[in-house]
Amino acid sequence: MGAIAKINVDHLLGKEVGTATILKELARGGMAIVFIAYQRTLKRQIALKILPKKLLTPKTAQRFQSEAESAAILSHPNIIPVYEVGETDDFLFFTMQLVQGKSLGRIIEMVRKNLLPSRRTLPLEEAVRIITEILDALYYAHGEDIIHRDIKPDNILVEKHTQRPLITDFGVAKVLRGEDERMPMIQGTPVYMPPEQILGREVDARSDIYAVGTMLFKMLSPELPFPPYSSKTDLLKQKVRRKDGIFLKRPSEMNPYADEAIDRIVFKATAYRKEDRYEDCRQFKQDLETYAQSN
């Protein structure tokens, strides 16, 4: 996290920001700090995310603004809503729903540490349910001309009591309705990036579909069956070179509860060429629903 880890924010506790009062620090990311805050107008706890101006660059400012604006456009049960956007003398900020729960990435990490090898993957039914809800949210976002471009388990929060997954972090989202060429196209997380995104080519809904398909595979396997790679750059190069697909094994070879039907769904979603993937998230979701009904 670099510079963000060294910033002392103790002086912000109790400070009023917009309609909220900062209560305590919750987490730090690559460029921002998230607090639990109290929204005085509606008498509820919320999350407040800040980007200190001392770390401000054109790139970080644009990403932060993109995250707030993209999420603010959207209203869906599986997308974290943004309430307020603004800035102070010291930082940019926005407030959003506070989710009581864990990231899907953390859940997968915990499951993989199970003492029993047979329980080191998420139950198939649960994985399909979570992915189906995410696809519904992405289908809606795509209909609003927003491509997320960084779908991964760490950007999915799962509510503790309802087990509802919520998509967060629209920091590298692309808004198709306007000219959004201010940021480089090659942004995202290597494991989940499709070849066209790595190559800096045009992305669309099928680019998010690739990431969701990869995420589904991760939920169903003890580890993703990539060929050996020495660095993130090496993985990106292999993803571009291996036009027959990056995975060396099928889900059914790594999970006794998976079968050829789920293999076909995962490999269709993660096909090298966009044209060979699902046309949209609705088709992907329908295939998963049909699969769930038949099992």
Residues 6+ apart with CB under 8 A from 162: none
Contact 266, 252 (CB under 8 A): no
Active site residue 89: no
Gyration radius of the chain over CA positions:
19
175: left (phi over 0), alpha (psi -120 to 50) or beta: beta
Q: How far, in Å, CA of 282 to CA of 166, rounded?
A: 18
Distance in angstroms (rounded) separating the CA atoms of residues 181 and 183:
5
Residue tagged 């960084």 (tokens): 150
Chain centroid to CA 56: how far? 23
Instruction: Using DSSP, state whether 28 is helix, strand or coil.
Output: strand
Tokens read off for 285: 């979701």
Distance in angstroms (rounded) separating the CA atoms of residues 61 and 7? 18
Question: HSE (CB half, 13 Å, CA atoms) of 284?
Answer: 34
**Which entry of 10, 90, 145, 150 is annotated as an active-site residue?**
150
Query: What pairs with residue 157 in β-bridges?
Result: 103, 166
Provide CB contacts within 8 A for 234, sequence distance 6+: none
Positive/negative CA dihedral, 137, 138, 142, 143: negative
Instruction: Give the integer Cα–Cα distance in Å for 261 and 181.
Output: 39
CA distance 137 to 77: 8
Q: Which residues are catalytic?
A: 150
